[in-house]
Amino acid sequence: MRSLALSELLLTELQRTESDAAVAAPLNRRLYLSLRGAILSGRITAGVRLPSTRDLARDLNLSRNTVMSAINQLTAEGYLTARQGSGTFVSQTLPDLGPLTVPVRSRRQTPAPDVQDGTPRELSQRGALLTAQSGAADLEVQPFAPGTIEFAEFPIQLWQKLQAKYWRSLDRNLLDYGQQGGYMPLRAAIAQYLSLSRSVRVTPEQVLITSGTQQSLDLAARLLTDHGDEAWVENPCYWGARRALQAAGLKLRPIAVDAEGIAPSAADWQQGRPRLIYVTPSHQYPLGHVMSLQRRRALLQFAARQRCWIFEDDYDSEFRFGGRPYASLQGLDDHAQVLYSGTFSKVMYPGIRLGYLVVPADLLPAFNTGLYDLFRPGQLMLQAALTDFITEGHFNTLIRRLRVAYQARRDELARRVQRCLGDRVQISGQESGLHLCLLFRAEDAVDDEAIARAADAQGMTVRPLSRYFLSAPRQRGLILGYAYVPTERVPPWAQKLCQLIRDQLPG
């Protein structure tokens, strides 16, 4: 594609966005969405060389900084590849899994008027039973150093003021159960936030307010799977997800993780018949890897072919320390197979116990019924206060402040570990999140559980990586949380921990 033709295509796309909801987004975001959409639709094919940012800025009548921001984000997410001395090219993102076919299953089915191919959607036998009649309308990562958890960055007085406003007004409707998926103004605020910041395809009605990721996953497992169904989980895996899926009676199939995220083998692709796939694509828990674009598309195509569901746990995407958060897996899903889950526990405070689940539109009646009948959700006063916290801009302000604070702690911790241990450990997951993963070399044969016990004896809480594997551990390491450790206390505790590790290393 010639540079002029490509520029004209993008200019047309940018002009089109002036008439839709994207106009609310800044120019760099609109350019990012336009170029991303052209790549995904095949209008700009793999291998095409983009014009220079200077030429593209001139052709589109935009500032060069605007163009560079969009190009950098697309490069970070894998849509583009920069080759030194040659330029920037469109990446090969299409997986080679053969033609997409959708088999027919003999499960209870619900209509799906919005699904592209018109094929009826499916609930599990348990899900169909639960929604047949409508209702009345020790592996948690803790601070690696002791001390009282402090919330110095959290605006406590403002939060109290917002809550007090609703208690003074005493709207009795807010004292009832949440019968329709949660407080609608909050659902609308979350939908707008996810659409702009995470490229989630969502309407307010698709957002269900839950008590957190654990409840979201439990609800999905109850409604979409049956006892004995197979579920794919990352290996190593978030312990809470493992517990929830096991409690639902699922057979867990551990899938290896590499630098590109979940990495199914050839046998997994060919023989696996999962009903549910649990993934953390933006920041794999606990290793911290980001799922590559090609791997994302392969997983989505597999899910569409097998008619299985993907549960995307986006537990800490707000805390990416370089550039924008990565776009969601759900935003790439053309077959509505992904359920997207997030939480407020990381940004606000753990005890708030509020999260959200974005479900495909055709599953909403069943999920609304299941959420109400199984959990009797409430806390509408809290939800109303949180709505104001978001819509008045305090939520984004808090995220920015926390990013600065957490990045300083992460940098100090990583610097101390690197200075003390050098190449005896590899630090994984530095780009985002609230924890680091220290990986030991295989030849050192380190007992990570012994180090964790020794650290505990000295008043530090670290977690052995080996305990997060469902099968025999493929790697040894330590998981270190740093969110609740004041920056000035990082150096002495990091030094103490490093000495414990050195004592366990051979030679």
Q: Bigger pLDDT: 300 or 27?
A: 300
Strand order in the sheet with 230-235: 207-210, 355-358, 338-343, 309-313, 276-279, 230-235, 251-258, 261-262
**Domain range 3-90, its CATH number among 1.10.8.60, 3.40.720.10, 1.10.10.10, 3.30.565.10:** 1.10.10.10
Instruction: Quote the radius of gyration of the chain (alpha carbons, Å).
Output: 24
pLDDT of residue 132: 60
- Token pair, residue 339, equals 């359920």
Q: pTM of the entire structure?
A: 0.85
> What are the beta bridge partners of residue 253?
232
pLDDT of residue 190: 97
Mean pLDDT on 281-300 = 94
| pLDDT at residue 21 greater than cutoff 60 | no
What are 263-288's pLDDT values in tens digits? 999 999 999 899 999 999 999 999 99
Buried b (16+ CB within 10 A) or exposed e, 367-404: bbbbbbeeeebbbbbbbbbbbbbbeeebbeebbeebbe
Average pLDDT over all residues of the chain: 87
Q: Are the beta carbons of 227 and 276 closer than 8 angstroms?
A: no
| pLDDT at residue 459 greater than cutoff 70 | yes
What are 326-376's pLDDT values in tens digits? 889 999 999 999 999 999 999 998 889 999 999 999 999 999 999 999 998
Q: Bigger pLDDT: 230 or 150?
A: 230
pLDDT of residue 112: 47
Q: Say which range, 95-109, 228-242, 287-301, 390-404, has the weakest mean pLDDT.
A: 95-109
Just give the CATH number of 397-504: 3.90.1150.10
Q: Bigger pLDDT: 149 or 91?
A: 91
| Domain ranges for the chain | 3-90, 397-504
What are 373-425's pLDDT values in tens digits? 999 888 899 999 999 999 999 999 999 999 999 999 999 999 999 999 998 99
Q: Do domains 3-90 and 397-504 have the same CATH topology?
A: no
pLDDT of residue 356: 97
pLDDT of residue 146: 47
pLDDT of residue 130: 58
What are 121-173's pLDDT values in tens digits? 778 776 775 566 544 335 666 557 544 456 778 999 999 999 999 888 888 88
